[in-house]
Structure 1
Amino acid sequence: MKTIKPIVQIIAAATLAMAGAAHAGVIVNSVASQGLTTQAGANFGSASIARTVPVWSVTDDATLLAFCIDPTTPMFTTTTTYAGTTNAVFDDDVKRLYSQYYSSIDYSGMGQVTGAKRVTALSFQLALWELIADDGNLASGALAVVMSDNGPKAQIIINGAAAMLATAQDESLAIENKYRFTTYAAAGSQSVVTVSAVPEPSSLAMFGLGLAALGFVARRRRG
């Protein structure tokens, strides 16, 4: 009797902790960036032709990446705590982009100037901007780019983003993975989004059965 009840309480507490973790404040730091040249006047309404594509890490979890969803606002480069809000809603194109590519983005080695992981992450960010804040086409809209205006490194990222956009907008492709999106915001800074995998129904069912079994045993022992 004295062992089963604490176990139930521990599991319940852990469940509440996991549910509330997404609301906790986090600190994000830049781990990779690449400058792109956009058409004059097409840089999110700015006359400047330079644009930096950043990828951020969450200091609370070195394996978790945060991607910007508010490119029209500057990003704080000083230590800033961002408050989280769960259940962000995105279009299917964004969900498809994540389901097709997010799992292949690896934080390790991203600091390499020409590393494949870095290119994948930066291409992903550029594609995400297009789907959330623009028209989904890198050749037009608020973030129009001209390949010939960019150097070889930027061209690789642009090509990668274009391929990702084509896949994300292909409605014949299923959204293979389900993610829970959490947005993090700080006053005056860009908002970013992180994701966590939604447990499979079978996993949730097994977890529920386990809790039920523990509760049943606890009641038996109390009796």
Structure 2
Amino acid sequence: MVLVVNMRVFGVAGLALVGSLAVASASTIDLDYVGQEKGAVNTYFRFLGKNMGASAGGFTFDVAGTGDRLLGWCVDIDHVLIQSATPYTPNPGLFGSEVVTNLDRLFTQHYADVVDAVSSAAFQVAIWELVYDGGNVSLGGGAFSLRGATPDSVEDKAADFLVLDERAGGYLLTFLDSQASPVKSQNLVTAAPAPVPLPASAALMLAGLAAFAFARQGRRA
């Protein structure tokens, strides 16, 4: 649902964490909007020359036919989230390498800091900034910028989140492309913790156990 007030558009803006669901292997999934888990903060911004606003906070979805829930973040201000069952397909080519790398760094370094409504809104703001302004990060200008009505707590936390170093690879990101027709829903990104590589000693031990089990099976045969 979109509420237009004095030429400002209030849409649903997305935060999300992701559960154990491996969406990357699915061809199409249907997502049914549930709510905003960690609350939301009204956030005001200017996007491509238009004054806009959104209730920024966590998106939780039921994944149709699975009994699973998924949490995702909005990467698409151009569209409004459809709050009923909507088809999505994973699309690794949704963004170029710069955006993907920057989002990887953001999730790796700050995803664990999303603990309440303010940090959820700030994380969403940081995502929008990296998607739309890329390497020229500034919440005060560019294609996406915050306006004065945004609470200082959200702006300050978003600025903290955008201080990034080279660390990456902490999460596996999946970009979900809306297949809704004739009107698209928002595209999303979800994140799942990246598998932790086993130390070399542990890998050797597992290989040895596997070889031992195979040898025992061979003797029984």
Worse-matched range after superposition: 201-210 or 95-104: 201-210
8 Å contact from structure 1 (residues 75, 190) kept in 2: yes
Letter in 1 for 2:195: P
In the alignment, structure 2 segments of 5+ residues that lack a partner are 1-19
Alignment of structure 1 residues 102-121 onto 2, 5 Å:
102-106=111-115, 117-121=116-120
Q: Hey, what's the Cα distance between the residues in 2 that align with 1:36 and 1:104?
A: 19
Within a 5 Å distance, the mapping from 1:128-139 to structure 2 comes to 128-134=127-133, 135-139=136-140
| 1:86–1:28 distance in 2 versus 1, CA, 3 Å | farther
- Structure 1: gaps of 5 or more residues: 1-17, 107-116
| Structure whose alpha-carbon radius of gyration is higher | 1
- Take 2:142 and 2:215, find their aligned partners in 1: how far apart are those partners? 62
Structure-1 residue corresponding to 2:25: 23
1:33 to 2:40 alignment: yes
2:157 pairs with one of 144, 152, 160: 160
CA contact (8 A) 1:85 1:184 kept: yes
194, 197, 217: which one pairs with 2:193?
197
Counterpart of 2:142, as a letter, is G
Give the aligned residue type for 2:47.
Answer: N
Distance 1:144 1:174, change over 3 A: closer
Structure 1 residue matching 2:146: 3-state secondary structure:
coil
* 1:211 to 1:179, Cα distance in 2 relative to 1, 3 A: farther
Q: Does 1:124 pair with 2:130?
A: no
The two structures have a TM-score, normalised by structure 1, of: 0.66
Distance in 1 between the 2:60 and 2:48 partners? 24
Matched, 1:73 2:59: no
User: Relative to total residues, which structure has the larger helix share, 1 or 2?
Assistant: 1
Paired residues in the alignment total 182
4+ runs deviating over 6 angstroms: none
Instruction: Using the TM superposition, give the Cα deviation of residue 99 of structure 1 relative to its aligned residue in structure 2, in angstroms.
Output: 1.3
The one-letter code of the counterpart of 1:43 is F
For the Cα contact (< 8 Å) 2:32–2:84, is it kept in 1? no
- Matched position secondary structure for 1:59: strand
Shift of 1:208: 6.4
Q: Tell me the SS of whatever aligns to 1:141.
A: coil
Tell me which residue corresponds to 2:3: none
- Contact 1:23–1:85 (CA under 8 A) maintained in structure 2: no
| Structure 1 position 212, deviation (Å) | 3.5
Partner of 1:182: 174
Residues 138 and 144, structure 1, Cα contact 8 Å, conserved in 2: yes
Within 5 Å, which residues of 2 pair with 1:29-68? 29=33, 30-31=35-36, 32-38=39-45, 42-46=46-50, 48-60=51-63, 61-62=68-69, 64-68=70-74
Q: Which moved more, 1:93-102 or 1:48-57?
A: 48-57
Shift, 1:128, TM fit: 0.7
Deviation at 1:98, TM superposition (A): 0.9
Per the alignment, residue 8 of structure 1 pairs with none
Shift of 1:120: 0.9
In the alignment, residue 105 of structure 2 is paired with which amino acid? Answer: R
* Structure with greater proportional strand content: 2
State the distance in 2 between where 1:211 and 1:23 align. Answer: 30
Task: Please say which of residues 95-104 and 208-217 is displaced more in the overlay.
Answer: 208-217
Letter in 2 for 1:157: V
